[in-house]
Chain A
Amino acid sequence: MEPLIGAPVARPDALAKVTGAARYPGDLDRPGTLHLKVVFAGRPHARIVGLDVTAAEAVPGVVAVLTAADVPHNAYGLVEADQPVLCGDVVRFVGDRVALVAAESQAAAEAGARLVRVVYDDLPVVSDPRAALEPGAPLVHAGRASNLVAHVPIRKGDAAAALAAADVVLEGEFRTSWQEHAFLQPEAGLAYIDEQGRVVVETAGQWLHEDRRQIAEVLGLPEEQVVVRYVAIGGAFGGREDLSVQHLLALAAWRLRRPVKIVWEREESMVGHHKRHPVQIRCTWGATRAGKIVAVRAEALADGGAYASTSQEVLKCIALFASGCYDVDHIHVDAYAVYTNNVPAGAFRGFGAPQAQFASESMVTRLAHALGMDPVAIRRINLYREGSIEPTQHPLPPGVSVRECLEACVERLAQELGGQENEAARRGPGDGERIPVPPALSWPPGHPIAAAHGPQPTALKRGWGIACGIKNLGYSFGFPEQATASVALHGGATIEHAELRIGAADVGQGVHLILRQIVAETLGVPLDVVRIIADDSAEAPNAGSASASRLTIMAGRAAHDAAAAALRLWREEEERPARATVQYCPPATTPLDPLTTAGRPNYAYGYAAQAVEVEVDTATGQVRVLRVISAHDVGRAVNRQQLEGQIEGGVAQALGYTLMEQFQMRDGRVLTPGFSTYLLPTILDTPPEIIPVVLELADPEGPYGARGVAELPLVPFAPAVAAAIHAATGVWVSDLPFTPERVLDAIAHFRQPRSRASEAGASGSVPPAAHTM
């Protein structure tokens, strides 16, 4: 039989998804279902001084209006339960939920929601994270000592002394923007009470059992009385880690004893769920003349918005990755997350790593320039290697492959450049030095890029940038980590069918197929013998969340081990059916010691390196990404097609984050609540060439050596683009996203108008035919 691991097996759910046959949460219905509509606060900070639902209840078809008084336990949260299900006294951001209208029709629910009268007494708005920390700043959560959500310090060695002794010291300041997950399927679902009296919520999410835990807590029920089921999930990216509509559905079904459904509109989704944290990073890096990085000092300030969400955990990643993937002896990091009256920030693919490493990778390249070194050479000196000591003073878990990723990326880059001397292109100009034109890359005749754009005016400059990346796989800092799977083998002489039970969410990444491939390979049976039950909290054991790039390594390992255990029972004990349940626990992690900041933060990491070619229009500030080389160590590619798809999708999302996605708020109000204002790249905006480079250096823990990759394409991309823009133009941009206006401002300081001879094309005068445009 052909090996199943590594085979590009087609997705079994693909056809239904492209034909529209797949059932998403918004497609669910039952007889007699009520429609729900949320009444949002619509204001960033206010005390509720009056709430009158009589007019809403009088609307024909409206069955009930639920408010805070109807919630048994009115607080929830993934890490800290600081968010009301329905606000009773204070609203803290525009997307806070104040009431829930249930009606016989969607129109009646909407009409009722418009008639819920809330009288507010506005409170001072805290919208700037730095101002939020000032003494006397208005408190987002009254009763707390300050707006600080968390402070994560990391101390290693003596950074002050090392910086004082360093040959070169550079300072940098970086800002990143909120990012919206923008999954295709807005939040939706259906809930009802089943024959056993359980409240059943059918929806989309990232972790069945955590959704169940939080819903049970809100309703004051034992977890067994709550069932969470997932149908087809239209993307997640971390945006479904926090509860959005799940607990509202459960509350209404439980209170009203009738089926209820909700489908959020896009604007409700945009305002109603958390975002990627905007982070301000100030840092100082020091190195020796020979290029050894000796010290990193960094301060990071993350806007956590109105509720904690996963801010504390994201913040730990930001602190840990402030020094990137580099072996540095002296580190002094302080990372802060603060409450504001902005939309909450939480999990988003990369979980703090993209923000932290935008700064760290940019600083490493700047150091190289300051030292007159090649950016690749300085990385060769300083990158993590097997046994390197982390900022938290413990050795890295084995399987450190960032150097191999870099070398594979550089090798592929050399191929792309066709053997031409490319050192200058990669290095770019030194700091302060202006070498505006890197060696021109000539497109062969007929090449789509050449054909599409023709000869270019000289205002267009091209350059390559390179960056590396690291991201933990799985939960960190002592957060309990496990995945459980059950396998049952049925048949007589041969295994006729195998049933895998594992509560792992297929958010679109294709993990269900990956798990079936692993089990089929382990059992030595064809793929279609293996059936998976993964979408019901009452039927499948807890395998943890679809997050932290962890399901292939964690759920994959649990599925593998359960399959192997069941196969042993089948063969050695001749059990029919043969059943085995295995809980896989990886090597333990620890919280950081509060005094020394030492600890073992993670049990596994993923590594990546990217090279990006950009073309910058130096007269308009537009940046086009032309080619991307994305090198990843995946341990083992379980499904090559899905892997490459995930890398390409990740690069597209990273491109949006880097160049155009800018969720904007002013004084706590959302300026970009839809896709006409919040810009997502389309296929026509994505780079014409994305070149995945896949390394398979087996991970010691992963099934068949596989490790996670999902978040990694997001990590090096922005700093690689920043370096490429610098190579092309000689200027650094350090505020994400790199909008044309920001780039032009960096290049030309255009606000003082002056003529720039090259911007209209070639300089010179008549006749026009002599010009190349």
Chain B
Amino acid sequence: MIPSAFDFYAPRTLDEAIALLAEHGDEAKVLAGGQSLIPAMRFRLAAPAVLVDINGIGGLDGLRETNGHLAIGALTREAALEEYTFIRERYPLLADAAHVIADPLVRNRATVGGNLAHADPANDHPAVMLAYGAELAAHGPRGARTIPIDDFFTGMFSTSLEPDELLTEIRIPRPGPGSGGAYLKVERKVGDYAISAVAVQLTMDGPTIRTIRIALTNVSPTPIRAEEAERILTGQTLTDATLEAAGQAAAAACDPSADLRGSIEYKRDLTRVLVKRAVRRAAERATK
């Protein structure tokens, strides 16, 4: 189908974009890569009166690593994440995810910021950033602020961003010594959303898990952390018993719905298996 009619703006600066968002409020949608928004408009699931295309704004894309964190411009294309050796080496969780988001054609256009701001529980970056404990930088008429990822997702397709705020940057804390991560996704075919996927970021102290964050994709109305599973594993060594307990805790924490991707039982069991595998893989990477 052809989308409904809309007004189109292509601001050249962040301030112009924010002014447009402030002017149009809920009527406006931000167009970044357009890989979720355009299909939604074509299916008439979304009919924004105004599109604010931010692709012409300089400085919103690119990767920058400081001592403290990795900063990812919100407009960075997913495909860019696959290109850097340092991502594979120091951010394996992010690297894992970069290869399984949608398909290569979508990754050429889709952006990291869009994947987060769309707040689809089926998207992959929400769980990844939850596991990293990332911070999000947003700009609005009242200036800049940072939002901890744990406070970002407020519901299905909704975030704590104000209608006149633009997500500009994602900051991932730079993993220290003994860190490892992994993202495991089961999809029915390349390009489909996950039946279930699990993101794990941890730090090891010898054989012991010192810190761990686990987050789940597409098994709840919002992206969620598996906090009980984290608690079970923190301070423990990796045994079959602790892994199984953590897997079961995560399976219990999720709230999937039955759909064409699978039954509730299957999604829970898959989550249990993926948590066990992802924790083990992250731990292995941590000790390499």
**Could you tell me which A residues sit within 8 Å of B by CB distance?**
265, 457, 619-620, 622, 660, 664, 671-672, 676-677, 679-682, 684-685, 739-741, 744, 750-751, 753, 755, 757, 759-761, 763-769, 771, 773
Contacts and interface: CB of A to CB of B under 8 A. Distances in A.
Given A763-B240, A765-B237, A684 B284 contact: no
Interface of B: 1, 103-104, 186, 188-192, 195, 204, 206-207, 237-240, 243-244, 247-248, 251, 260, 262-263, 265-266, 269-270, 272-274, 276-277, 280-281, 283-284, 286-288
Contacts of A740: 186, 188, 195, 262, 266, 270
A169 to B, nearest CB: 34
A684 B187 CA distance: 13
B243 A760 contact: yes
A753 B249 CA distance: 13
B90 to A, nearest CB: 19
Contact of B273 (A620, A757, A765): A620
19 contacts: A265-B1, A620-B186, A620-B270, A660-B189, A684-B104, A684-B191, A685-B190, A750-B266, A753-B251, A759-B273, A760-B243, A760-B277, A761-B276, A763-B240, A766-B238, A767-B206, A767-B238, A768-B286, A769-B288
A767 B204 CA distance: 11
B207 A766 contact: yes
A599 B212 CA distance: 72
Given A739-B188, A765-B240, 11 more contacts: A265-B1, A457-B277, A680-B189, A753-B248, A755-B240, A759-B273, A760-B276, A761-B276, A768-B280, A773-B281, A773-B284
Contact of B263 (A664, A679, A680, A741): A741
B103 to A, nearest CB: 7
Contacts of A771: 280, 284
Given A682-B189, A773-B280, A760 B240 contact: yes
A763 B280 CA distance: 11
Among A741, A760, A773, max chain B CB count under 10 A is at A760
Contacts of B272: 753
Contacts of A457: 277
A760 B272 CA distance: 10
A682 B103 CA distance: 10
What 5 A-B pairs are tightest by C-beta distance, nearest first? Answer: A760-B276, A768-B283, A684-B190, A765-B239, A766-B207
A767 B207 CA distance: 6
Contact of B284 (A619, A622, A751, A768): A768
Contacts of A741: 262-263, 266
B280 A660 contact: no
B283 to A, nearest CB: 4
Among A672, A680, A753, A757, max chain B CB count under 10 A is at A753
Contacts of B269: 744, 750, 753
Contact of A769 (B104, B251, B284): B284
Contacts of A767: 206-207, 237-238, 287
A759 B276 contact: yes
Contacts of A766: 207, 237-239
A243 B82 CA distance: 47
B116 to A, nearest CB: 21
A487 to B, nearest CB: 45
A671 B188 CA distance: 16
Contact of A682 (B1, B190, B284): B190
Contacts of B238: 765-768
A111 to B, nearest CB: 13
A750 B251 CA distance: 13
Contact of B244 (A660, A676, A680, A755): A755
A660 B187 CA distance: 11
Contacts of B280: 760-761, 768, 771, 773
A660 B191 CA distance: 13
Contacts of B266: 740-741, 744, 750
A387 B140 CA distance: 83
Among B207, B238, B263, B273, max chain A CB count under 10 A is at B273
Nearest to B39: A676
A766 B265 CA distance: 30
Given A751-B265, A760-B280, A771-B284, A622 B186 contact: yes
Contacts of A763: 240
Contact of B189 (A671, A679, A765): A679
B123 to A, nearest CB: 15
A672 B239 contact: no
A713 to B, nearest CB: 20
Contacts of B206: 767
B212 to A, nearest CB: 13
B235 to A, nearest CB: 13
A744 B204 CA distance: 33
A716 to B, nearest CB: 22
A15 to B, nearest CB: 22
Contacts of A660: 188-189
Nearest to B283: A768
Contact of A619 (B207, B262, B273): B273
A680 B192 CA distance: 10
Contacts of B186: 620, 622, 740
Nearest to A765: B239
B209 to A, nearest CB: 9
A599 to B, nearest CB: 43
A715 to B, nearest CB: 23
A682 B266 CA distance: 24
